């Protein structure tokens, strides 16, 4: 695929075509639950105090072209990536050394590490861990290169979201491309759109398959008398992205026939308990509205507790500790969450020194190991003097880099020319809390149109980010019980916007057409 494919895409819309397409998108989205709670900037809380409104998730009107080779290589390495991060989480010595370097510079990492240390002292009672992972990539097309390659932006080990809504966007674009079967009329004619649909998107089946595998592996109730078993989704109060989560919980209850309950981070200590008399430490769930009923949680799936905002005071940390010491299978455990630190990614990518990747993936087909390695973008340590600091402090080299803290999620990165001044504004001892990554260079001429959640239609040059979902269930001795990949997420943002948080509304959910 060369860049020229983008120049005529997407097709121009007449006013009638635009009105029709926008109408189809909003109707399809609301009918199928491709939705979010409307942003407060659009509908203030006082206009809808009970919260009965939804609006379309921010979505592109057209699917985006994506190089087939890149998509296929991302899919091909996903189960190896799963194994890699399971191995990192199981290698406490290796991971602990990295984390202990970070605790000085990052309170959040320090507090998470404290939880692990404390539970380890008491003794973990659950040897199994579950990962629902998403590896995010951009197409890299540096000037003068002959073929695009795929470079990893980040690897998400906690609250990897949008599997549900992403599947729906694929289904929506597929419907538009193929309705009616012989004479599709939703889009104007265009060579890229002709007889083409997005690749199968099995994100919901893959992610729920992982949760169901954990539920099964938990075994019988550890309570006496035995309690009915369930999965808990630990969610944020006021979550706007809940329809994404419902795609997973509905499939778990309907297809896997596993009860799922939602518990907000602030209700964890109120509605769950661990009987002090039971050394197996089962996590007992008692619904706040039905206090006479008890379930035992086999698996806790965290869609909260991933960032500092979910720990407004000490009870947040107490709640996370409480979950960590329980017998429930954690998705993720504290160690698995910490394995997603940017510092880990940077160390794996180091071109010199020990070959951590080969060590962690020992026993894996070397071809797969090198395929994983090819996805690494150049990235640098800032803890000591050296190449990283040189690149970061010189404005001319900083211009092609991004500075990342350990945090997941958008909004925390420092870009390009802002890097030197930012670093000089914080104590040098805190620099090790960041890593420097060379910016990936996506195609510059890609365009799309998007319908925001507030109804605004935007169009212009865009940058896409492809996430591939995987799930793995492993034992602390390294044994892997379930390792699967399937499904993907395409996020497309305006080219001028450096951050990619879809829920914030300056970025869209998309799907892909392989070219």
**Annotated binding residues for ATP:** 154, 342, 404-413, 415, 437-440, 465, 493, 499
Distances (CA, A) of 189 to 112, 193, 468: 53, 7, 30
110 binds a second copy (CB under 8 A): no
Q: Is 151 a catalytic residue?
A: no
Q: Pick the closer one to a second copy by CB: 49 or 144.
A: 49
Q: Pick the closer one to a second copy by CB: 136 or 244.
A: 244
Q: Is 251 a catalytic residue?
A: no
30 binds a second copy (CB under 8 A): yes
How wide is the angle at C-alpha 301 spanned by C-alphas 92 and 156, nearest 5°? 60
Q: Pick the closer one to a second copy by CB: 21 or 128.
A: 21
399 binds a second copy (CB under 8 A): no
Tokens matching residue 477: 């001795």
Q: Are 129 and 330 in contact (CB under 8 A)?
A: yes
Q: Cα 178 from chain centroid?
A: 30
Q: 105's torsion region: left (phi>0), alpha (psi -120 to 50) or beta?
A: alpha
The residue written with tokens 């720990």 in the block is 311
Q: Is 342 a catalytic residue?
A: yes
Q: Are 296 and 229 in contact (CB under 8 A)?
A: yes
Q: How far is the CB of 193 from a second copy (least distance, A)?
A: 13
Bond prior to 361 in cis (omega within 30° of 0): no
Among 5, 11, 43, 273, binds a second copy (CB under 8 A): 43
As a residue count, the chain comes to: 515
243 binds a second copy (CB under 8 A): yes
Q: Is 409 a catalytic residue?
A: yes
Tokens matching residue 46: 């006082």
397 binds a second copy (CB under 8 A): no
How many positions of this chain bind a second copy (CB under 8 A)?
54
The residue written with tokens 């007449």 in the block is 14
Q: Is 408 a catalytic residue?
A: yes
Q: How far is the CB of 260 from a second copy (least distance, A)?
A: 9
295 binds a second copy (CB under 8 A): yes
Rounded CA gap, 307 and 409, in Å?
Answer: 8
Rounded CA gap, 429 and 323, in Å?
Answer: 33
Among 511, 462, 507, 506, smallest CA distance to 488 is for 511
Among the listed ranges 10-18, 204-212, 312-320, 376-384, the one in contact with a second copy (CB under 8 A) is 10-18
Q: Are 80 and 369 in contact (CB under 8 A)?
A: yes
Residue 431: Cβ within 10 Å count? 20
Which is catalytic among the residues 33, 409, 494, 501?
409
Among the listed ranges 173-181, 212-220, 380-388, 422-430, the one in contact with a second copy (CB under 8 A) is 173-181
- The strand ranges marked E within 58-170 are 59-60, 64-66, 128-140, 149-156
Q: Are 490 and 65 in contact (CB under 8 A)?
A: no
Among 3, 8, 31, 351, binds a second copy (CB under 8 A): 31
**Binding-site residues for substrate, please?**
134, 158-161, 239-241, 245, 303-306, 491, 502-503
Q: Pick the closer one to a second copy by CB: 35 or 98.
A: 35
Which is catalytic among the residues 37, 222, 325, 342?
342
Residue 466: Cβ within 10 Å count? 26
Among the listed ranges 195-203, 253-261, 401-409, 412-420, the one in contact with a second copy (CB under 8 A) is 253-261
Q: Pick the closer one to a second copy by CB: 45 or 424.
A: 45
Which is catalytic among the residues 54, 135, 161, 453?
161
Q: How far is the CB of 290 from a second copy (least distance, A)?
A: 5
Considering only residues 50 through 69, tell me which ones interact with a second copy, judged by CB under 8 A.
50-56
Rounded CA gap, 235 and 304, in Å?
Answer: 5
- DSSP-based three-state secondary structure for 250: helix
Q: Is 134 a catalytic residue?
A: yes
Q: Are 153 and 465 in contact (CB under 8 A)?
A: yes
**Binding-site residues, please?**
134, 154, 156, 158-161, 239-241, 245, 303-306, 342, 404-413, 415, 437-440, 465, 491, 493, 499, 502-503
Which is catalytic among the residues 89, 339, 491, 505?
491
Dihedrals φ, ψ of 255, to 5°? -90, -50
Q: Is 156 a catalytic residue?
A: yes
Which residue numbers are catalytic?
Answer: 134, 154, 156, 161, 342, 404, 408-409, 491
For binding to a second copy (CB under 8 A), which residues are involved?
Answer: 14, 16-17, 19-22, 26-27, 30-33, 35, 38, 43, 47-56, 179-183, 185, 188, 228, 230, 242-243, 246, 250, 253, 257, 259, 287-290, 293, 295, 451, 453-457
């Amino acid at each position: 695929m060369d860049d020229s494919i983008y120049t005529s895409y997407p097709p121009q819309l007449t006013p009638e075509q635009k009105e029709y397409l926008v109408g189809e998108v909003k109707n399809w989205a609301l009918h199928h639950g491709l939705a979010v709670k409307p942003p407060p900037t659009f509908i203030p809380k006082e206009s809808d105090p009970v919260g009965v409104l939804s609006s379309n998730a921010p979505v592109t009107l057209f699917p985006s072209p994506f190089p087939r080779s890149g998509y296929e290589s991302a899919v091909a390495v996903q189960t190896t990536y799963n194994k890699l991060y399971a191995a990192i989480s199981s290698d406490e010595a290796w991971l602990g050394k990295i984390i202990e370097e970070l605790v000085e510079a990052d309170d959040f990492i320090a507090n998470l590490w404290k939880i692990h240390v404390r539970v380890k002292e008491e003794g973990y009672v659950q040897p199994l861990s579950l990962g629902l992972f998403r590896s995010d990539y951009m197409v890299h097309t540096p000037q003068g290169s002959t073929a695009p390659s795929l470079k990893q932006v980040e690897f998400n080990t906690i609250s990897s979201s949008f599997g549900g809504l992403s599947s729906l966007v694929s289904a929506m674009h597929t419907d538009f491309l193929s309705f009616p079967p012989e004479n599709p009329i939703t889009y104007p004619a265009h060579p890229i759109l002709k007889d083409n649909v997005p690749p199968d998107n099995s994100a919901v089946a893959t992610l729920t398959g992982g949760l169901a595998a954990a539920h099964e592996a938990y075994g019988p109730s550890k309570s006496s008398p035995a309690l009915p078993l369930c999965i808990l989704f630990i969610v944020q109060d006021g979550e706007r992205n809940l329809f994404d989560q419902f795609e997973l919980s509905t499939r778990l209850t309907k297809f896997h026939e596993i009860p799922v309950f939602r518990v907000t981070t602030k209700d964890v200590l109120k509605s769950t308990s661990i009987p002090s008399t039971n050394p197996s430490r089962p996590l007992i769930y008692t619904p706040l509205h039905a206090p006479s009923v008890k379930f035992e949680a086999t698996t806790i799936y965290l869609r909260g507790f991933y960032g500092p905002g979910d720990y407004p005071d000490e009870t947040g940390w107490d709640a996370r500790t409480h979950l960590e010491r329980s017998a429930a299978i954690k998705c993720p455990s504290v160690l698995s969450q910490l394995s997603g630190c940017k510092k880990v990614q940077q160390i794996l990518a180091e071109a010199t020194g020990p070959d951590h990747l080969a060590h962690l993936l020992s026993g894996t087909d070397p071809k797969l190991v090198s395929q994983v390695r090819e996805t690494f973008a150049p990235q640098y340590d800032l803890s000591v003097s050296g190449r990283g600091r040189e690149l970061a402090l010189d404005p001319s080299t900083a211009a092609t880099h991004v500075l990342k803290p350990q945090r997941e999620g958008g909004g925390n990165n420092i870009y390009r020319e802002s890097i030197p001044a930012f670093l000089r504004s914080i104590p040098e001892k805190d620099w090790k809390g960041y890593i420097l990554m060379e910016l990936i260079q996506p195609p510059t001429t890609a365009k799309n149109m998007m319908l925001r959640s507030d109804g605004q239609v935007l169009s212009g040059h865009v940058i896409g980010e492809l996430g591939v979902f995987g799930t793995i269930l492993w034992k602390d001795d390294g044994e892997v019980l379930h390792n699967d990949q399937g499904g993907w997420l395409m996020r497309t943002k305006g080219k001028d916007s450096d951050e990619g948080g879809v829920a914030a509304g300056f970025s869209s959910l998309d799907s892909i057409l392989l070219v």
